[in-house]
Chain A
């Protein structure tokens, strides 16, 4: 058995890669850590090589094959979910599990639910219509601040507040979309990015309206039939209802005539237009609908925290939500739910590695794009 069927030049390449990695980080880390990083790079390159040839050949391919298979299983399960019994079992589990958890895990689950709503909303824009939105958090912020201002100034209740928040985010999206959706794809991405920044800057500086960096506190709690929600478990059930509704609505939307038109636009806009699809109006619809979900999630966030400040609406938040959509597999609802779990729930369990979390996250993004650009559970689509 030949462990390394590689030629001498190949060895030289591995050494050169590690040497480069060490050299690049040298001025920042000092000699000791640079050697460490060179060592880690060597190990990474060698294990990559071993997965291609040698005793572990095909291990990586096998792994990705298993992932695809898991994706198919989950697809099958999600199809089975449409049978009422399976759906009922899942809902009962989701209803019962948090009762046996402590408040901390309930909060984590609630947060995950909120991000599922956000990610499914963004999926309408990015995954369905293929519009890269890098400023999604602006609409989330509009929803949150709408409810915060209405609640603290006019004592508006939660449910009308939610309608107002969704409406405000939609109108905002309509105004922005009408003027920018005619732009080419990457220009649109940059405009949304600039928009997200402008929104944050305005929130930070419009003291009389938004409270500036201090934000708005003492936002009203939601009430249902005279019972005011305040415990973590209450909010868990609230977001569960909202998330289930979102899953149902986006699922129906995906299968509709509109959903199919979005996919056509995503795959080839010029061809879609030639087939008689009004691309501008449909893109606008996707942008507005997706933003409405951001508004709803924003209202929930404001009510849950009873406090909003510009800090919660940074560009990084937009990137996180985008990563949930991309990581799980664009366009796939189970994939996006998995993505939200991976990015919100998992890091909570790895709190001790907090400093290295973001670094690993960056590597995961690059690695995903290179090795599985369709997402963890993404199907091998047509394009």
Chain B
């Protein structure tokens, strides 16, 4: 029971962590809560189902399952990255110098647009994964583990390591760190701010797409409303870890996944969403800078 909940919690946490990275990266640079980020994750989930359906019609899964999953994830990532860049260009860039409230409301608008667009284009019903892939689970220390859980954990840890390497070792990563420290100064030393911000949105959205595809593989279902709660919880994870901090988002994601799963199995399952938000509120009150975040001092 305990091992089972631990594994389930880690898998859920990996999904939260992947989405939380997008929130934390955008917040780190723009101090903007990208409210539409949860919808990008939802788009990723739908794209996963659509691409997988297409590939199934072509008969690819019978040939190579790994290739099918690979293509699905890459296509979904590419499309979501394009969505992320488009959202930033259309809804946030014109508002970069506006008051703080404006981009947030614009983000709510984008969120409504994307939800209703998917609802109109794909229907109000739940969308199910084509039953092409049957995963045989295996037993480990008395816990039933599905290969999807292994895939989620493996892929998310790999992506997080890659992201960390990208941020710390590449020129563009350095430019991102500089921009998040001081946008004006970064611009003055010749960094193309617009490009850096676009890339940030694209990376964040691509990670959310992976989370979306993983979740549909795990639960086998997507819904146009799924982005809202998941986005909120991923944001909670980002705040829990310390918003703006990339290792913080990963830590926060896994912590939240574990808390939620253990609360659901040992205390009350109907209140599991409430626990997640309670954790958010308590974190913000007791330690607003999160588990690993740095204290922020307001400047005039």
Contacts and interface: CB of A to CB of B under 8 A. Distances in A.
Interface of A: 20, 23-25, 27-29, 33, 126, 130, 132, 179-180, 183-187, 189-191, 193-195, 197-198, 201-202, 204-205, 270-271, 315, 319, 322-323, 326, 355-356, 358-359, 361-366, 368-370, 373, 383
A186 B281 contact: no
A20, A23, A27, A184, most chain B CB atoms within 10 A: A27
Contacts of A24: 79, 82-83, 86
A204 B268 CA distance: 14
Given A20-B82, A383-B99, A28 B46 contact: yes
A82 to B, nearest CB: 30
Top 3 nearest A-B pairs by Cβ distance? Answer: A365-B109, A362-B112, A362-B113
A366 B90 contact: yes
Contacts of B91: 366, 369-370
Contact of A363 (B46, B113, B122, B236): B113
A16 to B, nearest CB: 12
B31, B99, B235, most chain A CB atoms within 10 A: B99
Contacts of A326: 101, 105
B120 interface: yes
Main secondary structure of the interface of B (DSSP, over half): helix
Contacts of A370: 91, 94-95, 106
Contacts of A383: 99
Contacts of A362: 109-114, 116
A104 B117 CA distance: 30
B271 to A, nearest CB: 6
Contact of A190 (B101, B118, B228, B284): B284
Contacts of A323: 105
B47, B50, B273, most chain A CB atoms within 10 A: B273
A141 B47 CA distance: 37
B120 to A, nearest CB: 6
Nearest to B109: A365
A362 B36 CA distance: 12
A373 B98 contact: yes
Contacts of B94: 370
Given A180-B285, A186-B33, A358-B116, A197 B110 contact: no
Main secondary structure of the interface of A (DSSP, over half): helix
B47 to A, nearest CB: 6
Nearest to B83: A24
Nearest to B27: A186
A20 B83 CA distance: 10
Contacts of B31: 186
Nearest to A199: B274
Nearest to A21: B86
A28 B228 contact: no
B232 interface: yes
B280 A190 contact: yes
A322 B281 CA distance: 21
Interface in B220-240: 228, 232, 235-236, 239
Nearest to A363: B113
B281 to A, nearest CB: 5
24 contacts: A25-B117, A25-B121, A27-B50, A27-B51, A28-B118, A132-B104, A186-B31, A191-B280, A193-B232, A194-B277, A197-B273, A198-B278, A201-B273, A204-B270, A323-B105, A356-B120, A359-B120, A362-B109, A362-B113, A366-B90, A369-B95, A370-B94, A370-B95, A373-B102
Contacts of A191: 280-281, 284
Contacts of A373: 95, 98-99, 102
Interface in B107-155: 108-118, 120-122
Contacts of A355: 120
Contacts of A179: 285
